[in-house]
């Protein structure tokens, strides 16, 4: 007797049974149920949305068993480890499952969340795989301490060829990810080599010429981050060598805050900035470097600088500077995903992101914009039609976004669910 999955692949199952299958309600073993759901989610246009919703709410214990089992179908494992489907509790099991392809883990390493990075660095398999570590090193969310750990595992950046998967190099994996999303391969170079290569002066000159009037009107405007300097500065921002000095400064600040809540924010900023002052012979930190630049200088840094500099300049209160970050040739999709969710950026930044075709091909960017309470209402409502049912359901209960967005999200969620059920 043929398995139900074989009948589904051959389109020999009646419509009512297909609907049961998409709900995970067929009387088949758990592993076959998962295989059916993943097949429908990836290949069936009629029941795909319903299958994806079912998978998103699938029993976690059953999912963990599948993620741990080397005999689980390859397509199921690939689906579970894909960044858009990954459930954090399953990641440790997936990382150690020998049947999960290292190429898939390398793709995950490029875009993993901070929590995902931590889990990957605890995995013995990842720590021994140079190809995955090379991709992890390109992740925009990698902290300085984690970057040092990755470098140490790579032995100063020298990889052991025997541990590199076929798709293991950063450019190759980035190209594979982009090709799956329909992006032209040449757009992947900025994501893969954030600090490599020089930005052509022509690109900067073109931007300066296009915005010459705005630049002339705000040329002497100093750097002032949206949300204020206190919110911008954080304990992880300054070099490790300054932590002791910062801690002492923080103690003084806490005393000042206890005396006067009105001056607390200013005291914190002053203490941290004072602690960050370089000693003789030391180089300025990034914030001090930015503070010395005029508008034109900050624009050039936004387009030619590194990830850390872009993460600060995107919050510049001067619009022409903040928008220059989005035009930076080396900006990565991971950075834009983060920017789309930030509440401490100008409204103009959130409006500019959807105008760039490359960014709008990234589903996470679209979802983050709709989920961001700072996104202009008209923009959020217009992008909502692109969201999957589960994300619409999540937004409908998100108290941070406006009531209008929540109501429309719930309405669209019900419409998509009804449409899937009718088919």
pLDDT in tens, 331-363: 999 999 999 999 999 999 999 998 888 898 899
Q: How many CA atoms lie within 13 A of 271 on its CB side?
A: 24
> What pLDDT, on the 0 to 100 scale, is given for residue 423?
65
A 10 A CB-CB count for 100 gives: 22
For the chain, the average pLDDT equals 78
First and final CA of the chain: distance in angstroms?
27
User: Residue 231's pLDDT band (boundaries 50, 70, 90)?
Assistant: low
> What pLDDT, on the 0 to 100 scale, is given for residue 280?
53
Are 320 and 215 a contacting pair, CB within 8 Å?
A: yes
pTM greater than 0.75 (yes/no): no
Asked whether the predicted pLDDT for residue 158 surpasses 50, the reply is no
Following DSSP, what letter does each residue of 37-105 receive, concatenated?
HHHHHHH-TTTHHHHHHHHHTS-HHHHHHHHH-TTS-HHHHHHHHSTTT--GGGHHHHHH-TTS-HHHH
Give the pLDDT confidence of 295-313 residue by residue, as tens digits: 999 999 999 999 999 999 9
The tokens of 375 are what?
């996104």
Give the pLDDT confidence of 46-89 residue by residue, as tens digits: 998 899 889 988 898 999 999 999 999 999 999 999 887 888 89
- How far apart, in whole angstroms, are the C-alpha atoms of residue 219 and residue 213? 10
> What pLDDT, on the 0 to 100 scale, is given for residue 279?
52
> What pLDDT, on the 0 to 100 scale, is given for residue 194?
43
> What pLDDT, on the 0 to 100 scale, is given for residue 233?
57
Partnered with residue 225 across adjacent β-strands are 316
Asked whether the predicted pLDDT for residue 106 surpasses 60, the reply is yes
Q: How many CA atoms lie within 13 A of 104 on its CB side?
A: 22
- How far apart, in whole angstroms, are the C-alpha atoms of residue 411 and residue 416? 9
Alpha helices (runs of H) in 227-341, residue ranges in sequence order: 229-232, 243-259, 264-275, 286-291, 295-304, 307-313, 319-326, 333-341
- How far apart, in whole angstroms, are the C-alpha atoms of residue 281 and residue 148? 24
> What pLDDT, on the 0 to 100 scale, is given for residue 225?
87
A 10 A CB-CB count for 44 gives: 18
- How far apart, in whole angstroms, are the C-alpha atoms of residue 292 and residue 227? 20
- How far apart, in whole angstroms, are the C-alpha atoms of residue 113 and residue 96? 18
Q: Which of 130, 70, 64 is nearest to 97 (CA)?
A: 70
Burial of 115 (0-12, 13-18, 19+ CB in 10 A): exposed
Domain extents in the chain: 4-191, 200-225+297-422, 239-284
Asked whether the predicted pLDDT for residue 172 surpasses 70, the reply is no
CA-CA-CA-CA torsion sign (185, 191, 197, 198): positive
> Going by C-beta distance under 8 Å and a sequence separation of 6 or more, which residues neighbour residue 144?
236, 240
Strand, helix or coil for residue 251: helix
Following DSSP, what letter does each residue of 384-403 receive, concatenated?
GGGS-HHHHHHHHT-TTS-H
> What pLDDT, on the 0 to 100 scale, is given for residue 285?
79
Asked whether the predicted pLDDT for residue 122 surpasses 90, the reply is yes
Q: How many residues would you count in the chain?
A: 423
> Going by C-beta distance under 8 Å and a sequence separation of 6 or more, which residues neighbour residue 104?
77, 78, 81, 82
Mean pLDDT in residue range 106-133 = 88
Asked whether the predicted pLDDT for residue 261 surpasses 70, the reply is no
Please indicate whether residue 185 or residue 11 has the higher confidence score (pLDDT): 11
The tokens of 63 are what?
């999912």
> Going by C-beta distance under 8 Å and a sequence separation of 6 or more, which residues neighbour residue 376?
347, 350, 351
> What pLDDT, on the 0 to 100 scale, is given for residue 245?
41
> What pLDDT, on the 0 to 100 scale, is given for residue 104?
87
């Amino acid at each position: 007797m043929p398995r139900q999955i074989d009948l589904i692949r051959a389109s020999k199952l009646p419509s009512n049974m297909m609907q049961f299958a998409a709900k995970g309600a067929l009387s088949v073993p758990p592993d076959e149920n998962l295989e059916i759901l993943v097949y429908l989610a990836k290949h069936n246009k009629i029941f795909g949305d319903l299958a994806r919703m079912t998978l998103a709410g699938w029993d976690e214990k059953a999912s963990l068993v599948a993620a741990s089992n080397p005999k689980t179908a390859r397509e199921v494992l690939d689906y579970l480890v894909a960044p858009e489907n990954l459930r954090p509790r399953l990641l440790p099991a997936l990382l150690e499952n020998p049947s999960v392809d290292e190429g898939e883990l390398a793709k995950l390493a490029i875009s993993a969340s901070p929590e995902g990075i931590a889990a990957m660095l605890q995995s013995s398999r990842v720590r021994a795989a140079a190809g995955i570590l090379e991709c992890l090193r390109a992740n925009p969310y990698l902290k300085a301490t984690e970057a040092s750990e990755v470098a140490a595992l790579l032995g100063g950046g020298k990889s052991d060829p025997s541990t590199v998967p076929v798709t293991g190099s950063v450019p190759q994996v980035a190209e594979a990810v982009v090709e799956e999303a329909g992006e032209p391969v040449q757009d992947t170079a900025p994501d893969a080599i954030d600090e490599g290569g020089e930005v052509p002066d022509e690109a900067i000159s073109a931007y300066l010429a296009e915005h010459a009037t705005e630049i002339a009107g705000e040329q002497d405007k100093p750097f002032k981050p949206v949300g204020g300097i206190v919110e911008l500065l954080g304990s992880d921002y300054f070099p490790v060598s300054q932590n002791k000095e910062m801690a002492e400064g923080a103690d003084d600040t806490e005393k000042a805050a206890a005396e006067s809540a009105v001056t607390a924010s200013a005291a914190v900023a002053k203490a941290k900035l004072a602690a960050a002052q370089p000693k003789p012979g030391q180089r300025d930190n990034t914030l001090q470097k930015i503070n010395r630049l005029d508008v034109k200088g900050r624009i050039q840094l936004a387009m030619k600088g590194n990830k850390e500099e872009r993460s600060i300049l995107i919050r510049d209160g001067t619009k022409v500077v903040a928008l220059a970050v989005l035009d930076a040739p080396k900006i990565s999709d991971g950075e834009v995903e983060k920017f789309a969710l930030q509440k401490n950026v100008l409204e103009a930044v959130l409006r500019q992101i959807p105008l760039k075709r490359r960014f709008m091909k990234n589903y996470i960017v679209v979802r983050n914009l709709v989920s961001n309470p700072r996104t202009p209402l008209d923009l959020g409502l217009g992008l909502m039609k692109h969201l999957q049912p589960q994300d619409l359901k999540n937004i409908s209960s998100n108290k941070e976004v406006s009531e209008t967005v929540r109501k429309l999200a719930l309405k669209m969620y019900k419409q998509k669910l009804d449409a899937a059920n009718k088919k």
